[in-house]
Amino acid sequence: MRRDEIDFADAVWIVPASRMKAKVVHRVPLTPRAIEILEMQLDASDSGEGMIFPF
């Protein structure tokens, strides 16, 4: 999950077709709690960009 794939205003994670097996854009609705967690991860990151959950 990358920062630029998340639409915080509409609470949707949009996975680009290039990263999907079927090569079709995938839209994942996010709950309010999921948005909170994502925002906390971004606040804790050094740059607030790139991967949300680096491994």
Give pLDDT tens digits for 14-55: 999 999 999 999 999 999 999 999 988 887 766 556 667 766
Instruction: Tell me how many domains the chain contains.
Output: 1
Q: Is residue 52 part of a domain?
A: no
Instruction: Specify the DSSP class assigned to residue 22.
Output: T
Q: Is residue 53 part of a domain?
A: no
Higher pLDDT, 32 or 1: 32
Q: Could you tell me which residues come within 8 angstroms of residue 9 by beta carbon, excluding any fewer than 6 positions away?
A: none
Q: For position 41, what pLDDT does the model report?
A: 85
Q: Is residue 18 part of a domain?
A: yes
The domain in which residue 38 lies consists of 3-44
Q: For position 34, what pLDDT does the model report?
A: 95
Q: For position 40, what pLDDT does the model report?
A: 86
Lookup result for tokens 């309010």: 32
Q: For position 3, what pLDDT does the model report?
A: 87
Q: What angle do CA 26, 12, 7 make, to 5 degrees?
A: 110
Q: Is residue 12 part of a domain?
A: yes
Higher pLDDT, 1 or 15: 15
